[in-house]
Amino acid sequence: MKEVTGKQKYVLPFAALVTACGAVACIFSAYNFPLAKFDLGLLLLALLTVLLGSRLTMQLPSAKVHVSVSDTLIFIILLLYGGEAAVLIAAAEALYTSFRFRSRGITIRFDGVLFNAALMACSTFLSAWALRSSLGSAIIPLQADNVALLTAVCVMALVQYAASTSLAAIYTACEANQGVWTTWNKKYFPTSLTYFAGAATATGLVTLKGLIGFYAVIATATAVTISYLTLRRYINDLKASVSQAEQAEHARAEVERARAEQAERHVDELNHYVAELKRTTDELQTSKEHFRHAAFHDALTNLPNRALFTDHLKLAIERTKRQPGHNFAVLFMDLDRFKNINDSLGHIYGDQLLVAISQRLKGCLRQVDVIARLGGDEFAVLLDGFTEPNDVLRVAEKIQKAISEPLTIDRNEAFTSASIGIALSSTGYERPEDVLRDADTAMYRAKDGGKARHEIFDEVMYARAVSLLNLENDLRRAIERQEFEVYYQPIVTLKTGGVCGFEALLRWQHPTRGMISPAEFIPLAEETGLIIPLGQWVLEESCRQMREWHEQSLANRMLTVSVNLSGKQLSRDDLCQQIKLILERTGLDPRSLKLEITESVVMDNADLAINMLQQLHNLGIQLSIDDFGTGYSSLSYLHRFPVNNLKIDRSFISRMGLGDENLEIVRTIIMLARNLGMEVIAEGIETKEQLAQLRALSCSFGQGYLFSVPLDAESAVALIRQVQQNAAALPSPADAPRDGDSKYLYSSLVM
């Protein structure tokens, strides 16, 4: 349904008002019509007006408007028979014409049909009364003087024009949601000539009636009408014939032009084919070389690509087998922090930097050496034929020095460095891919050692690489087999000694190696991306367990569970949705969940972290910054994080007794957290002296071996019950238990 806006809501009310006025005018005219005036002449005029009036039009010279014979006939009826007859016949003519247009497919709503008839009735009614008021009678005497005739013309034309166009302009403006004046000025102002021409014609015919008689005028008008229709039909037929002839001539010309163009195009195509065949024949050898070059070279730097480098390396391996004492080395290079350059300055700038680096590398090598771009910011160098390993190290140092010198690109100065891994042929390689693998391994060892350095692959490195590969395979199988378990270390309210929550810690029970330390497999999980499914499993298992403990006892309803969140998890767009679904599945109140994010992870991308942490905070989840003090937090960012807790790293707690300086660091962190409206949790509390110092500093919460080691779920339940039953006991002075010893517990956590 079309939406009604602005003035459109007034269309139907206005149409109804005009229709009602037209109906009143028609009823009044019918009631007051003198039957004595009805004669054959009026009947003939009525039939001409209704049936033929609107069909006969004549365009005025130099104007884009037409005079309708119906206007002239209505004016004649008004002057000869009075306003009552004119009103009724005008309404009938408008009603008949509207229905005729509808039958021809022209869309006119029924309310529009009634409006047209009413408009003619109203305007004619007003014209009649205006004429009666100005002349004393609506019927012009046959001997009327020129002044009376001129008055009749002006009154009829002006009133009929003003009434008709005003009502029509209001209706049209409302329907189109436009201004009334704009609509009238654009559509109806030019039609003034039609009304004055019609009135003048009617007055002239009425005057002529007095000279030759009414029926003579009717006969003359009929003859003129027939002649007009015949002439218009002849002219229309003539126009159609001329148009058909012009179209035929135009079609013939188009056919001839198309034939000529087609013939010319065939000639051009033949000439082009001959030239193209000649050019292709001349360039076959050139194209072959071009495709060969593109297949084995990098498009950006024009250096050999991995495929060509592998071919050269294969030849070097074969040469080493045939010539004892012949040595080669592969240097695998990766630019340090290149991703940061790409992200900050754009890929175009990064590409220009790679081209500049490739030129510098060429300047460091001999003609016989091969340098290739393997992809991204990775390059490889084949040093084929050297005497001493120190020669290889000198080349690596030369390359690192050249790359570390500043580069100017687009008037910007750029600094970078390279980590280089070296594989020597003395290892005894059979395949090129093995050489590249070992050089790549050594390169990552160089990066782990601090970047901007080089490492030579050796057996120890190989053993470590194999061990990591095996561990990765075991880790993937462990996720499938669910070999993991969540342990829970209690978090204690230091003032009362009561357990307020637990930190969830992941443990891996390997089927052959036993318990594997998280310090060994968590970094590998981060590197391989396996931390995503692992983290999701730990979160859901911890929420499920805490919900189960809540249902066991009303006293447990205040317990919270803290779960560590990795950097890769924090960077995922769907993190909030995943956590929300886990809370819904487990039924855990979001306020009972605390998420811990390390300080370094938060600050790696502070703006992204602020946005994600705010979304988590909006869910009602509590947030903690873990290992606080070991990273590089900026106070300008720290107050913007929606964080509830700061966890002081265990390294600060363990050194509190070694001097006032370490104690002051802890005091400062506690004061900072208090000023920011955060609570403080101290990690790694192992002695009563540390506990006493933290209490003196008004630290709120703590965890550590002084209270309990991480426990499996069953032992954690036993601990909760034991603390609730013995709320007044002091901790045992015995040595702290070993991690994983779920049988040994302090008799109480209340100090």
Within this chain, do residues 48 and 195 fall inside the same structural domain, yes or no?
A: yes
The predicted pLDDT at position 382 comes to 94
The predicted pLDDT at position 745 comes to 37
What amino acid is encoded at 279 in this protein? R
Within this chain, do residues 441 and 482 fall inside the same structural domain, yes or no?
A: no
What percent of the chain is modeled with pLDDT above 70?
Answer: 77
Contact 724, 555 (CB under 8 A): yes
Pick the last residue of a domain from 264, 295, 326: 295
Look at 157 and 717; give whichever has higher pLDDT: 717
Asked if residue 32 belongs to a domain, the reply is: yes
Does the pLDDT of residue 201 top 60, yes or no? yes
Q: Which residues contact 444 (CB under 8 A, 6 or more apart)?
A: 419, 421
142 closest CA partner among 68, 211, 78, 84:
211
Look at 575 and 107; give whichever has higher pLDDT: 575
Within this chain, do residues 50 and 117 fall inside the same structural domain, yes or no?
A: yes
Look at 681 and 138; give whichever has higher pLDDT: 681
Asked if residue 744 belongs to a domain, the reply is: no
Within this chain, do residues 177 and 195 fall inside the same structural domain, yes or no?
A: yes
Look at 80 and 334; give whichever has higher pLDDT: 334
Q: Which residues contact 186 (CB under 8 A, 6 or more apart)?
A: none
Torsion of CA 544, 624, 570, 563, to 10 degrees: -20
Pick the last residue of a domain from 271, 295, 319: 295
Residues 149-190 pLDDT 10s: 667 777 777 787 777 778 877 877 787 777 777 777 777 666
Q: Which structure tokens are listed for 617?
A: 């905070």
Cut 0.75: pTM above it? no
The predicted pLDDT at position 746 comes to 37
Q: Which structure tokens are listed for 494?
A: 């230091």
Total Cβ atoms within 10 A of residue 159: 23
CA separation for the pair 268, 261 (Å, rounded): 10
Pick the last residue of a domain from 295, 322, 353: 295
Does the pLDDT of residue 191 top 80, yes or no? no
Asked if residue 301 belongs to a domain, the reply is: no
User: Can you give the residue range of the structural domain that contains 359?
Assistant: 306-457
Mean pLDDT, range 709-722, rounded to an integer: 92
Does the pLDDT of residue 333 top 90, yes or no? yes
Sheet holding 417-424, edge to edge: 370-375, 378-384, 328-336, 417-424, 454-456
Mean pLDDT score of the chain? 80
Asked if residue 139 belongs to a domain, the reply is: yes
CA separation for the pair 306, 293 (Å, rounded): 13
Confidence of residue 743 (pLDDT cuts 50, 70, 90): very low
Residues 227-267 pLDDT 10s: 445 545 554 555 566 667 677 677 777 777 777 777 677 66
The predicted pLDDT at position 229 comes to 52
Mean pLDDT, range 7-21, rounded to an integer: 81
Look at 655 and 6; give whichever has higher pLDDT: 655
Asked if residue 734 belongs to a domain, the reply is: no
Confidence of residue 104 (pLDDT cuts 50, 70, 90): low
Within this chain, do residues 101 and 11 fall inside the same structural domain, yes or no?
A: yes
- CATH code at 181? 1.10.1760.20
Within this chain, do residues 630 and 485 fall inside the same structural domain, yes or no?
A: yes
Within this chain, do residues 284 and 317 fall inside the same structural domain, yes or no?
A: no
The predicted pLDDT at position 184 comes to 75
Does the pLDDT of residue 115 top 70, yes or no? yes
Within this chain, do residues 286 and 393 fall inside the same structural domain, yes or no?
A: no
Which of the given ranges, 10-19, 331-340, 560-569, has the highest pLDDT on average? 560-569
221 closest CA partner among 81, 69, 96:
69
Residues 476-508 pLDDT 10s: 999 888 899 999 999 999 998 889 999 999 999
Within this chain, do residues 426 and 345 fall inside the same structural domain, yes or no?
A: yes
The predicted pLDDT at position 367 comes to 85
Does the pLDDT of residue 750 top 50, yes or no? no
Confidence of residue 734 (pLDDT cuts 50, 70, 90): very low
Count of structural domains within the chain: 4
Does the pLDDT of residue 605 top 80, yes or no? no
CA separation for the pair 58, 228 (Å, rounded): 10
Within this chain, do residues 347 and 269 fall inside the same structural domain, yes or no?
A: no
The predicted pLDDT at position 281 comes to 63
Asked if residue 354 belongs to a domain, the reply is: yes
Within this chain, do residues 43 and 164 fall inside the same structural domain, yes or no?
A: yes
The predicted pLDDT at position 140 comes to 53
Which range has the worst mean pLDDT, 88-102, 344-358, 663-677?
88-102
- CATH code at 566? 3.20.20.450
Look at 221 and 609; give whichever has higher pLDDT: 609
Within this chain, do residues 448 and 590 fall inside the same structural domain, yes or no?
A: no
Cα 516 to the chain's mean position, in Å? 45
Asked if residue 749 belongs to a domain, the reply is: no
Sign of the C-alpha dihedral, residues 595, 601, 602, 606? negative
Does the pLDDT of residue 588 top 90, yes or no? yes
Asked if residue 585 belongs to a domain, the reply is: yes
The predicted pLDDT at position 436 comes to 93
Confidence of residue 735 (pLDDT cuts 50, 70, 90): very low
Which range has the worst mean pLDDT, 48-57, 301-310, 362-371?
48-57
The predicted pLDDT at position 380 comes to 93
- CATH code at 362? 3.30.70.270
